[in-house]
Amino acid sequence: MFKQPFKNKKSSLNGLQHIQQSLHQQRTLLRLVQESMTEDLAIHCLHVTASKNTITLFTNSSVWASKLLYLRQPILKTLSNYFGERVHTLKVKVLSKHSVKTQLSPKSPSSNTLKFLAEANDSEQTDKLSTSMNKLIKTLQKINYLSLNSRR
């Protein structure tokens, strides 16, 4: 029915535990790599994986990838100290824009939508819902007005 994500008879961990252990190791490696460099460069290190004596470092642009390659020796030294044996290879890969998470901002409702909401909400009612709705509409109208003026 379901395939085992990892079929390793030697490991006492089940598939999920093995995945969690790998993720923990990757987070630790990322933290070590980021601590070995300046903050402006560290924020562009997105992910680190380790396989045998090879480390793969993921970044968000080719410009930062080339800068990270200049730090190859300090990064390898840091990770070699962590593993207790020499790490031979550092690969730097650029993640595509689709795989990099970007902070999405919420969309503001249009002026027509706000006008419709204001008309649908009877402003003469004094119940809590109507009062709250009126406050929300006024706030959104202010935000729309400010965002339109800031674009000019």
Delimit the domains of the chain by residue range: 15-94, 111-151
Q: How far apart are CA 108 and CA 105, in angstroms?
A: 9
Domain covering 15-94 in this structure, CATH number = 3.30.300
pLDDT for position 107: 76
Note the pLDDT of residue 50: 86
- CB of 44 closer than 8 Å to CB of 59: yes
- What are the Cα distances from residue 92, in Å, to 46, 75, 136? 11, 11, 47
**What pTM, to 2 d.p., does this model score?**
0.55
Lowest mean pLDDT among 14-18, 46-50, 111-115, 135-139: 14-18
pLDDT in tens, 55-98: 899 998 888 888 888 888 988 898 888 888 888 889 999 987 65
What pLDDT was estimated at residue 100?
Answer: 54
Please report which helix (H) or strand (E) contains residue 51, including its range.
Answer: strand 45-51
